Amino acid sequence: MSYMELMNDKMNKAVEALETNLKTIRTGRANPTILDRVELEYYGSMTPLNQLSSISVVEGRQLMIKPFDRNMLKEIERAVAMADLGLVPQNDGSVIRIMIPALTEDRRKELTKDAHKMGEDAKIAIRNIRRDAANAAKKDAELTEDLKKQAQEDIQKATDQYTAKVDKIVDEKCKDIMSV
């Protein structure tokens, strides 16, 4: 695999990681992906909540967690409460319900700042990948000086495309957060 293919692959992964992280930011609507990072111990190993239960949206602003093993209700309730998502789980004995509160204007602004920080982290990762690819191109003995210069330009073009993609993704998420 050439350094360009490797660079593109790594940059794609950085963008995918950003998209995954942005899914965990809630937008005021119920969305099961906000619970993706919640894990709890199950038979000695940490297991994601979505592997231990079904998570569904009820009436637009409520999540319902139905565990496959009803003995896990208390542990699931505790794990959601401890996940620092600002959500209050309610255990009714057979399922756990989570009301998603409407976001205040201040909270929306905080969440957009978080989204921008995640975007900036992704851009930093992309720039680090660019640096590694540029160094690989400089050290490639098979390339002539003209080809090395062309490779540097190609690397920069790819970097610009991926940073623009990151900006677009973050802007869309911010619009989603700020919409009431």
Question: 49: helix, coil or strand?
Answer: helix
Mean pLDDT of the chain: 87
Do 42 and 8 share a structural domain?
no
Do 174 and 108 share a structural domain?
yes
Report the 10 Å Cβ neighbour count for 102.
Answer: 10
Count the domains in the chain: 2
Question: 45: helix, coil or strand?
Answer: strand
Do 116 and 144 share a structural domain?
yes
Q: Give the pLDDT band (50/70/90) at residue 85.
A: confident
CATH code of the domain containing 61 = 3.30.1360.40
Nearest residue to 36 (alpha-carbon basis) of 46, 23, 17, 18 = 23
DSSP label of 166: H
DSSP label of 8: H
Phi-psi map region of 159: left, alpha, beta (phi>0 left; psi -120 to 50 alpha): alpha
**Angle, to 10 degrees, between the axis of helix 105-139 and the axis of helix 3-23?**
170
pLDDT 10s digits, 63-75: 898 988 888 888 8
Segment 99-124 shows an average pLDDT of 88
Looking at the whole model, is its pTM more than 0.75?
Answer: no
CATH code of the domain containing 164 = 1.10.132.20
